[in-house]
C-alpha cells in the first residue's frame, strides 16, 4: 500500500472527540492528521439520522466549552437539539477552526500495527498507509451498529433500515406498513415520528424500557442569554456533578424509601412535569438501594398505566426491572403513541423473532407483512469500533485477544502492550454516564498535556502497565458493584451482543475520575512506562 503521510499524531474519527483532538494538538505544534470513514464530520450525529433523533442532554450543555466566542455566537433552537442541528453545529466548528483540511474523509481504518523498532504506528486505511508516533482513537462509544443475525433477513423484499446507519435522504413512510424491532433509546425517539406518517406500525418489543418525558420545547431566548452570561460558572458547576449534567433541581441526600407518601408523590410529580434526567435525581439512593429504586420504578409504571388506554398494552410497556440500570430514555409522546389505532405492540419476550420472511416478520405465532423493516437494535457499545480497527501492539498482541475477557485498560485512556495509543472516552472512563462532550474535552486535554510533557522530556513512548490496568479495572467494577447498574442485562455490560464477555464498562462518577487523572499526570504519569 502507498504511504499517504507521516505525522506526529493520527486521529481516527471526526466526531466531537476527533475534532477537538485535531484542534488542540495542532495548537501545540504537532503535525496531526485525521481519518474518518464518513464523508463528513459529526461522528454519531453523521450516521444517526433516524426520525426523531436528538440528544438527551440539553443543548446548552451538550456543546463545547473550550472557546468562549464559539459558545457565545452559536444559537440553539430547542431545549434538546435534534440531529440536524447538532450536525450543523459540528460542521460549523470544523469550518470555524479549519479542521476539515486536516481530515481524510471516506477513509476506513483496516489495520493498525505498532512497530517496536521505530516506535511508530503503521495504520493501513482504504486510501493508503499513514505512519504516526501517536495514535488517538476517537472512534466513539456508540458507533458500531449491532446487526442481529435474524434468520431470513436477506430474503426480505422490502426496505431494511438500521437506526444507526440511516439514509441521508429523507424516508417517507406515508401509506407504508412499517415494522420496528427494538424499544431502546433510538426506537423510543423514532416510534412517535414514524407513527405520524405510517399507515400501520408494528413495534416488536423484547424488553420494555423506562422512559420519562423530555418536555422538549423551543429554547427560550431569555434562558439562552442568561446561560451565556453565566457560562463559566455553570460549566464549573457541571464539572462537580457526578454525571457532569446540571439540573434545575439541586442535589439532595434524601432517601426515597423514607419519604412519606404525599411528599414522595409531590416530588416525583414535579420532576415528571419538568422532564429530563433531573427525574433520576429526585432522591440520592435511587441507584443504590433496591427498595428506593422500586418505589420510583412503580411511580413510572403508574404513569404508563395512566397514559396508555389499553390495559394489556400498558402492562406490556411497564418494565419490571431496576429503573435506570439501562440507559434511561427521554421521550416525546412515546407511550401515548400506542393509543393510535394503527400502532400495535408485539410482545416477543418469550420466543423472540422467529424469522424474517420475504414479506415481513414471523413472531408471536403470527406472520406480519411490511413494506419497511427498521432495526433499532443498538450498538456494539464502547469496544466495537476499537476492535474493528484490527489493532496489533507489542509482540504481535492483538486488541481482540487482549480484550477477549473484557476491556482491560488504564483510566479509559491507555492499554497495556499498545504503546502510544490513546482512546478517547474508552472503557473504564465515565464516558456514556456523563455529558459526553464534557467527558471528551477532559480526555483530549489530558492527552494533549501528556504529549506536550513527553515532547519536553524527550520521551518517545508511553504505555500503561499491566498492574495499573488490572487495578483500574478492579476499581471500575468495585464501584459498579456498589450500585444497581449490574442488575440489568444492559449494553453497559455488553449483554446485547451474543458472545461478548459481560463486564461493566463505564466508570461511575465524573469528579473523582477527573481528580485521579490529574494525580496520575502530576505524579509523572504514575502507572505508565515511559521510554
Q: Residues spanned by CATH 3.50.50.60 within the chain?
A: 3-144+380-530
Cα separation of 185 and 23, whole Å?
31
pLDDT of residue 52: 98
The residues pairing with 464 across neighbouring beta strands, listed in sequence order, are: 528
Residues in CB range of 79: below 8 A, 6 or more apart: 58, 59, 214, 215, 216, 217, 218, 219
pLDDT above 90 for 217: yes
As a residue count, the chain comes to 531
Residues in CB range of 488: below 8 A, 6 or more apart: 321, 322, 325, 326, 495
pLDDT of residue 420: 98
pLDDT above 90 for 157: yes
- Residue-wise DSSP of 466-502: HHHHHHHHHHHHHHHTTSSGGGS--GGGTTTSTT---
CATH class of 3-144+380-530: alpha beta
Angle between the N-to-C axes of helices 221-229 and 231-239, in degrees from 0 to 180, rounded to the nearest 10: 80
Give the predicted TM-score (pTM) of the model. Answer: 0.97
Q: Calculate the average pLDDT of the chain.
A: 97
Residue 396 CB neighbours (<10 A): 11
pLDDT of residue 95: 98
pLDDT of residue 251: 81
Cα separation of 392 and 308, whole Å?
52
Average the pLDDT over each of 58-72, 247-261, 368-382, 441-455 and give the range with the smallest value.
247-261
Residues in CB range of 295: below 8 A, 6 or more apart: 256, 257, 264
In the numeric block, the cell 400495535 is attached to 344
How far from chain centre, in Å, is Cα 103?
A: 23
Cα separation of 366 and 255, whole Å?
46
pLDDT of residue 15: 98
Sheet holding 353-356, edge to edge: 353-356, 360-363, 366-369
**CA angle 63-67-73, nearest 5°?**
70
Q: What percent of the chain has pLDDT over 70?
A: 100
Contact between residue 469 and residue 306 where contact means Cβ atoms under 8 Å apart: no
Phi, psi of 64 (to 5 degrees): -65, 145
State pLDDT tens for residues 335-346: 999 999 999 999
State pLDDT tens for residues 238-284: 999 999 999 999 888 999 999 999 999 999 999 999 999 999 999 99
The arithmetic mean of pLDDT across residues 69-94, rounded, is 98
pLDDT of residue 484: 97
Residues in CB range of 477: below 8 A, 6 or more apart: 503, 504
**What are 38's three cell numbers?**
464518513
pLDDT above 90 for 368: yes
**What are 147's three cell numbers?**
446487526
- Residue-wise DSSP of 229-298: HTHHHHHHHHHTSTTS---SSPP----GGGS-HHHHHHHHHHHHHH-SGGGGGSSTTTTT-HHHHHHHHH
The arithmetic mean of pLDDT across residues 41-67, rounded, is 97
pLDDT of residue 54: 97
State pLDDT tens for residues 463-495: 999 999 999 999 999 999 999 999 999 999 999
The secondary structure element, H or E, covering residue 46 is helix 44-47
pLDDT of residue 141: 97
In the numeric block, the cell 451498529 is attached to 145
Amino acid at each position: 500500500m502507498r504511504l499517504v503521510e507521516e505525522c506526529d499524531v493520527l486521529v481516527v474519527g471526526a466526531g466531537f472527540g476527533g475534532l477537538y483532538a485535531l484542534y488542540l494538538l495542532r495548537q501545540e505544534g504537532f503535525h496531526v492528521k485525521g481519518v474518518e470513514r464518513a464523508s463528513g464530520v459529526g461522528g454519531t450525529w453523521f450516521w444517526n439520522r433516524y426520525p426523531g433523533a436528538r440528544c438527551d442532554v440539553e443543548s446548552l450543555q451538550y456543546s463545547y466549552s473550550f472557546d468562549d466566542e464559539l459558545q457565545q455566537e452559536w444559537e440553539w433552537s430547542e431545549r434538546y437539539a435534534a440531529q440536524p442541528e447538532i450536525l450543523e453545529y459540528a460542521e460549523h466548528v470544523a469550518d470555524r477552526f479549519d479542521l476539515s483540511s486536516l481530515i481524510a474523509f471516506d477513509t476506513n481504518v483496516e489495520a493498525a500495527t505498532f512497530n517496536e523498532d521505530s516506535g511508530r504506528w503503521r495504520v493501513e486505511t482504504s486510501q493508503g498507509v499513514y505512519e504516526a508516533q501517536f495514535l488517538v482513537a476517537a472512534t466513539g462509544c456508540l458507533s458500531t451498529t449491532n446487526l442481529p443475525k435474524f434468520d431470513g433477513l436477506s430474503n426480505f423484499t422490502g426496505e431494511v433500515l438500521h437506526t444507526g446507519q440511516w439514509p441521508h435522504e429523507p424516508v417517507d413512510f406515508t401509506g407504508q406498513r412499517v415494522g420496528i424491532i427494538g424499544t431502546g433509546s433510538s426506537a423510543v425517539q423514532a416510534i412517535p415520528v414514524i407513527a405520524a406518517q405510517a399507515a400501520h406500525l408494528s413495534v416488536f418489543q423484547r424488553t420494555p424500557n423506562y422512559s420519562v418525558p423530555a418536555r422538549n420545547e423551543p429554547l427560550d431566548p431569555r434562558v439562552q442569554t442568561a446561560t451565556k452570561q453565566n457560562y463559566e460558572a455553570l460549566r464549573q458547576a457541571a464539572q462537580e456533578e457526578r454525571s457532569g449534567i446540571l439540573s434545575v433541581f439541586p442535589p439532595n441526600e434524601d432517601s426515597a424509601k423514607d419519604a412519606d407518601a404525599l411528599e414522595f408523590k409531590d416530588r416525583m410529580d414535579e420532576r415528571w412535569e419538568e422532564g429530563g434526567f433531573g427525574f433520576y435525581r429526585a432522591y440520592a439512593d435511587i441507584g443504590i438501594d433496591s427498595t428506593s429504586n422500586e418505589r420510583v420504578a412503580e411511580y413510572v409504571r403508574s404513569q404508563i398505566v395512566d397514559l396508555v388506554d389499553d390495559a394489556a398494552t400498558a402492562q406490556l410497556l411497564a418494565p419490571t426491572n431496576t429503573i435506570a440500570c439501562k440507559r434511561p430514555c427521554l421521550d416525546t409522546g412515546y407511550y401515548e403513541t400506542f393509543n393510535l389505532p394503527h400502532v400495535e405492540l408485539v410482545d416477543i419476550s418469550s420466543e423472540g423473532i422467529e424469522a424474517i420472511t420475504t414479506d415481513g416478520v414471523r413472531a408471536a405465532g403470527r406472520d406480519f407483512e411490511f413494506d419497511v423493516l427498521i432495526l433499532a437494535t443498538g450498538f456494539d457499545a464502547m469496544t466495537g469500533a476499537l476492535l474493528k480497527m484490527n489493532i496489533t501492539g507489542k509482540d504481535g498482541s492483538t486488541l481482540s485477544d487482549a480484550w477477549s475477557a473484557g476491556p482491560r485498560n488504564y483510566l479509559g485512556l491507555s492499554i497495556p502492550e499498545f504503546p502510544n495509543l490513546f482512546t478517547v472516552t474508552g472503557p473504564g472512563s465515565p464516558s456514556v454516564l456523563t455529558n459526553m462532550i464534557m467527558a471528551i474535552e477532559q480526555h483530549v486535554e489530558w492527552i494533549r498535556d501528556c504529549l506536550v510533557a513527553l515532547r519536553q522530556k524527550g520521551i518517545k513512548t508511553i504505555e500503561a502497565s499491566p498492574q495499573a490496568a488490572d487495578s483500574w479495572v478492579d476499581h471500575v467494577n468495585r464501584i459498579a458493584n456498589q450500585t444497581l447498574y449490574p442488575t440489568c442485562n444492559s449494553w453497559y455490560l455488553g449483554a446485547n451482543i451474543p458472545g461478548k464477555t459481560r463486564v461493566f464498562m463505564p466508570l461511575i462518577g465524573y469528579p473523582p475520575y477527573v481528580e485521579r487523572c490529574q494525580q496520575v499526570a502530576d505524579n509523572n504519569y504514575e502507572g505508565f512506562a515511559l521510554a
